[in-house]
Amino acid sequence: MTNWLVKANALDEDDPLKHLRERFNIPLAKNTCDNSKIEDDRKCIYLNGNSLGCMPKTASEETKKVLDNWKVHGMHCHFSGFLPAALCDEWLIPPMAKIVGAQEDEICLMNGLSVNLHLLMNSFYRPNGKRRKILIESGAFPSDYYTVASQIEMRGLDPSECLVEVSNPDGPVLRNSDIISTIQSIGDELALVLFPGVQYYTGQVFDMQEITAIAHEVGAICGLDLAHAVGNVILRLHEWDVDFAVWCNYKYMNGSPGAMGGAFMHSRLKASDIIKPRGWWGHELETRFKMDNKWKGSGGIKEFRLCNPPPVLAAPLYASLQVFEETDIENLRAKGVQLSGFMIEMLKDTFEDKINIITPIEEESRGCQVSFGLMGADISKVFEELRVNGVVCDFREPNSIRTAAVPLYNTFLDVFTFVTLLKNIYDANTE
Measure the CA–CA gap between 248 and 290, rounded to whole angstroms. Answer: 33
Assess whether pLDDT exceeds 90 at residue 338. Answer: yes
pLDDT, mean of residues 268-296: 92
Cα–Cα–Cα angle for 14, 43, 32, nearest 5°?
135
Sheet holding 163-166, edge to edge: 107-109, 262-265, 244-247, 221-225, 190-196, 133-137, 163-166
Pair 181, 218: CB distance under 8 Å: no
Assess whether pLDDT exceeds 90 at residue 429. Answer: no
pLDDT, mean of residues 309-319: 97
What residue ranges define each of the domains in the chain, with the CATH number in brackets? 4-47+328-428 (3.90.1150.10), 63-324 (3.40.640.10)
- For 52, phi then psi, to 5°, come to -155, 120
Indicate the helix (H) or strand (E) that contains 186.
Answer: helix 176-186
pLDDT tens, residue by residue, 121-162: 999 999 999 999 999 999 999 999 999 999 999 999 999 999
Give percent of the chain with pLDDT exceeding 70: 100
- For 40, phi then psi, to 5°, come to -90, -170
Assess whether pLDDT exceeds 90 at residue 2. Answer: no
pLDDT at 1: 47
pLDDT tens, residue by residue, 25-75: 999 999 999 999 999 999 999 999 999 999 999 999 999 999 999 999 999
Own/partner pairs, 33-39, CB within 8 angstroms, 24+ separation: 33/387, 33/388, 35/388, 36/388, 36/390, 37/388, 37/389, 37/390, 38/388, 38/389, 38/390
pLDDT at 422: 97
* DSSP track, 270-287: -GGGS-----GGGB-GGG
pLDDT at 396: 87
How many beta carbons lie within 10 A of that of residue 165, not counting itself?
14
Amino acid at 319: A
Pair 282, 111: CB distance under 8 Å: no
H helix and E strand count, the chain = 12, 15
pLDDT tens, residue by residue, 369-379: 999 999 988 89
Instruction: Tell me the C-alpha to C-alpha distance, in Å, between residue 356 and each of 186, 283, 344, 352.
Output: 33, 52, 10, 9
pLDDT at 431: 66
